[in-house]
Amino acid sequence: MNEKDFQQTVTDLADSLGITWVHIPDARTVPSAKGLPDLFLIGSHHCAWRELKMPGKKPEGQQVAWKYRLKAAGQNYDVWYPSALDSGQVEKELQSLNRA
């Protein structure tokens, strides 16, 4: 699975669970958005920011800066790897966005 397929699988799952999601494909080219997490996910009660990474990769540079900015603002931020999809973690966290 490559990162594009990983993202498609996550967004398909989000769609099936009624989670609205936003991906900003040009975040690398917009100075104020550089490093923005791959997905902003919005459920009926909660929202989350998720960076998608392949095994062996970690957030770098502005991605790390966004992590700290979002966490400081009380936002739900995390990094998902394909193993989180395989373990059911992604589905569990997506479902939690719809719980009061």
% the chain with pLDDT above 90 = 89
| Statement: residue 28 has pLDDT above 90 | no
CA–CA dist 63, 58 (Å, integer): 9
Confidence of residue 30 (pLDDT cuts 50, 70, 90): confident
**CATH placement of domain 3-96:** 3.40.1350.10
CA–CA dist 11, 58 (Å, integer): 21
Helices (H) and strands (E) in the chain, counts: 4, 4
From its phi and psi, is residue 24 left (phi > 0), alpha (psi between -120 and 50) or beta? beta
> Average pLDDT of 54-61?
96
**What is the pLDDT, as a whole number, of residue 66?**
96
CA–CA dist 98, 94 (Å, integer): 8
> Average pLDDT of 52-65?
96
- The dihedral built from the CA positions of residue 20, 26, 30 and 33, taken in this order, carries a sign that is positive
